Structure 1
Amino acid sequence: MSLPSLKISQNGRFLITEDGNPFFYLGDTAWELFHRLTLEEAELYLTVRSSQGFNVVQAVILAELDGLHTPNANGHVPLIGDDPARPNEYYFRHVDSVIKLAEEKGIYMGILPTWGDKVHSGLWGVGPVIFDKSNAYIYGKFLGERYRDFTNIIWILGGDRPGEGYEEVWTSMARGIYDGLGRKPIITYHPSGGQSSSQWFHNAEWLSFNMCQSGHCLIDTPNWDMIRSDYNKTPIKPVIDGEPNYEGHPIDPYLRKWKPEYGRFTDYEVRKQAYRAVFSGACGHTYGHHSVWQMYDERYKPMTFANVYWYEAIYAPGAKQMIHLKNLLLSLPYFTRIPAQDMLTEITPPPPPKDIDDRLNNRRASYPVATCDKEGSYALIYFPLANQTLNIDTSSLSGHIIKASWFDPRSGERHYIGEFAKGTLRFTSPLGGPDWILVLEA
């Protein structure tokens, strides 16, 4: 049975299904899914992710890790002679099967037609560059025609590349997809770390929603600033952090080189990026694990110190915790949710890091973020630290009495606190954790 098509909500802030239901984009990063896994392995991966509440999987057809010349798990390369106009039918039959499997399990595929190194050289990736404005359209139209009857596809152009200087190539590919489908698709652009699709394509007619990448270098990278910047742009478009820090990925506090001895991102860092982004106005969030994006196992050399096989890493703590964020948002009025940082009195955004010492001291660690229902029925405040005290102005909430509870982002459980007269209230997060969400309901 086909999944319902997606579209943009009437207020321009969210994704919804064609029948008007909220669609909280909970994605997983599986860039090498089509390239490195057999169909049997893909079924295991998709089954687990579906059970964990993920509804989007982001994967690349022309993959990053020598996706043109190293055959897929079935022994096929995607193109004949590296020619985008000559797709290999056997390779694409495997892609077809994986997309169908995803659909059966209630998952939408966030499909990148190609990784950016096939368009833009000189950064990273082995390439080679094969796309120009002309064949980008041909390839895009081929994809649109081939997947015209699929309703579970979100198109993602880019592939870890800035758009500057290549806008015509990406626009041509988008136009080809559009013409091949015979309808306007849901489509975005995946940029490099620290960037957003809005820098080049916000006003592009083909861009449905913005995607930023907060990346994998610093702990507490201020993705809340990236989300807010796009949230406040006109015309209004949804925004999401499509590649935050990956669980298990080495940290790079010096912005020079990833090394395991600097530590690895844990489920705690994953949660902080997720809740801060969504509470700042994002329409969902993308999780990632360092071993899973590259589908690392005994057959492949690990990239940047991956140390757990993918079929073990899919059960990592952070992956099992993301469903609680989705369930929390869907349990409350959805389309009227707005950022609400002004509810937090005496809180100012931390300055960006000025030097290496500042990066190591990590002054952004304690930064809380708030969201609320503009109709006044609830507010949610993310406390990133245990035993953290905040003053919260509840005057925008309805009624005279506020019911408060702590939401545990690790388990999804709520712990009732009590009822309070509306006003400026003071709360201190529990000692366990370390992070908590304060739920205030009118």
Structure 2
Amino acid sequence: MRPNVLRSCLALGAAGMALAGCSQGVSSLGDLAETGPAVAFPLKVDPSNRYLVDQHDVPFLIHGDAPWSLIAALTRAEAERYLQARRSQGFNALLVNLVEHHFGGADNKNGAPFNREGQAPFLAPGDFTRPNEAYFAHADWVLQRAGKLGFVVFLFPSFTGCPGTEEGWYRELKANDVEACRKYGRYLGRRYAKLKNIVWVAGGDRNPEDVRAQILALVGGIRELDPDKLWTADCFRENSAVDQYGDQPWLALNAIYTYQDVPGKCLGGYFQQPARPSFLVESHYEDDFGRRNGDDTRKQAWLAVLSGACGQFFGNLPVWQFGNGWSRALNSPGARYQAYLRRCLVSRHWENLVPESGRRLLPEGLGAGADRKAAAVTRDRLTGLIYLPAGGKVAVDLSALEGPRVRAWWFNPRDGTNREEEALATDGRRHTFSTPDGGDWVLVLDSVAHEVSPPGTRNIFAAAPVN
């Protein structure tokens, strides 16, 4: 969260950027609102250790938004509006602080850590041994409502915060001894043991370092009374959960946080041993610091999921902190692009994709810089996807796919449309494809032996059983 101290400094100024032309209401995405079967929580790790599945073993693509201040910043009515909007846009995962230290939202007159009802999380400031029942009762409602609407919540019990800022609970963690942190953990474990739509997240924007003992005590306290939930950890940028917590038996998922090299870090996570599902927990946010926009968040998302990530989180300012204009910003271009991405992926067996790391599918390699491509082929070699972030030409060895011929499609990640190319022989010769224009495109290749609908037009998981 708040990738570095710059976000704190620029948040207020950026909150009023762009988006002024959006309507006040939240527009759904028409047939993009189709979200597939109901999720049978709790989630679990597939035996392949590459992705998550629900209790019916239906693959679960982590397709998340980052409403960090959801619990502290909004009333129930506002939280309902947010959840319904993101559900209609196809999101299924949320990144949330259970207790918010700094960003209380534009309409929270008390400011963090108080919620909109004026309740603080602790009866004495920063005393983890004295949780406030009234505060957590509101948190209960938000988490339960999210679950009923099909969201898994990646929940931070005490976000530590970026070094050099007051964004998290680092000072309080240091002030509370190990036993106090364990007691707080037991309180949370007892409270949320029966809530099935939670994935716990340790840390937050910081490596554990001198509060490692407190963090591990908090984790241990939760696990004493809530032993079955999945865990991951969020660390300082350019670190993954495995880098800092890889020795912990509870670490089930590898969260990757990077600005510098999304495809490289995701490839590294995929091939790391022992294998764990890896996902992009954070990179650049739309309309946040660094002049990044929806085009940037679209590109990093595609680079992640075709480089081995089992999903990724999108973020938008002002939505992540519920600053001024957050309701209008729910309609941002970045949110629409996320819907197109999900729609394309669930029309194919994304869970079986193996990312290209050599030169099997792309004999000239993945490229570098702004032209860095991402590519993956399913284990059965029936489908391949290639993302070209800068358009142009790409040479493909079609023999990497099964069968005598392949059908090729261009999927437009900017508007969700597709166009079919002629079927081609997989005779071992290279074929050079050219994108329809100079924007980014996804080349979808399907063996003709594999009958499929055009990319983005059918959710192949929608016939799965429901609760």
Please give the range of the TM-score, normalised by the shorter of the 2 chains: 0.7 to 0.9
TM-score normalised over the length of structure 2 = 0.81
Structure 2 SS opposite 1:242:
strand
CA distance in 2, matches of 1:70, 1:242: 23
Contact 1:402 1:421 in 2 (8 A): yes
Deviations 1:42-77 (A, max 9, x none): 111000000011101111022141679642111111
Deviations 1:320-349 (A, max 9, x none): 221222232222224421102422122255
Q: Is 1:277 matched with 2:304?
A: yes
Contact 1:249 1:289 in 2 (8 A): yes
2:331 pairs with one of 307, 315, 330: 315
Q: CA deviation at 1:128?
A: 6.2
Match in the other structure for 1:85: 129
1:427 pairs with one of 433, 441, 449: 433
Match in the other structure for 1:302: none
1:408 pairs with one of 409, 412, 424: 412
With 127-136 and 3-12 compared, the bigger mean Cα shift is at: 127-136
Deviations 1:239-296 (A, max 9, x none): 1110111011121xxxxxxxxxxxx212111111001011010010100002111110
Q: CA deviation at 1:135?
A: 2.0
Match in the other structure for 2:319: 292
Match in the other structure for 1:16: 53
Q: CA deviation at 1:208?
A: 0.8
Q: Is 1:345 matched with 2:363?
A: yes
Match in the other structure for 1:230: 269
Q: CA deviation at 1:416?
A: 0.5
Contact 2:366 2:374 in 1 (8 A): no
Deviations 1:373-416 (A, max 9, x none): 12110100001113x11111122210110100101112322211
RMSD between aligned residues: 1.9
CA distance in 1, matches of 2:63, 2:39: 19
Structure 2 SS opposite 1:46:
helix
2:212 pairs with one of 162, 167, 181: 167
Aligned AA (1:277):
A
CA distance in 2, matches of 1:178, 1:244: 29
Match in the other structure for 2:229: 185
Match in the other structure for 1:306: none
With 78-87 and 43-52 compared, the bigger mean Cα shift is at: 78-87
1:280–1:2: structure 2 CA closer, same or farther, 3 Å change rule? closer
Give runs of aligned pairs for residues 35-434 of structure 1, distance below 5 A.
35-65=72-102, 70-81=113-124, 82-117=126-161, 122-125=164-167, 127=169, 129-131=171-173, 132-181=177-226, 183-215=227-259, 221-251=260-290, 264-297=291-324, 309-341=325-357, 342=359, 343-347=361-365, 350=368, 364-386=369-391, 388-422=392-426, 423=428, 424-431=430-437, 434=439
With 319-328 and 85-94 compared, the bigger mean Cα shift is at: 319-328
Q: CA deviation at 1:99?
A: 0.9
Q: CA deviation at 1:310?
A: 0.7
Structure 2 SS opposite 1:166:
helix
1:43–1:69: structure 2 CA closer, same or farther, 3 Å change rule? closer
1:294–1:66: structure 2 CA closer, same or farther, 3 Å change rule? closer
CA distance in 2, matches of 1:3, 1:141: 26
Structure 2 SS opposite 1:139:
helix
Deviations 1:84-141 (A, max 9, x none): 1111011111101111211221111111111214xx8655537562224222221122
Any unmatched runs of 5+ in structure 1?
A: 216-220, 252-263, 298-308, 351-363
Comparing both chains, which one has the higher relative contact order based on Cα–Cα distances under 8 Å and sequence gaps of 6 or more?
A: 2
1:349–1:179: structure 2 CA closer, same or farther, 3 Å change rule? farther
CA distance in 1, matches of 2:313, 2:441: 20
CA distance in 2, matches of 1:96, 1:291: 24
CA distance in 2, matches of 1:31, 1:5: 21
Match in the other structure for 1:260: none
TM-score normalised over the length of structure 1 = 0.85
Any unmatched runs of 5+ in structure 2?
A: 1-37, 105-110, 448-467
Give the aligned length.
396
Of all paired residues, the percent bearing the same amino acid is 31
CA distance in 2, matches of 1:126, 1:6: 28
Q: CA deviation at 1:3?
A: 4.4
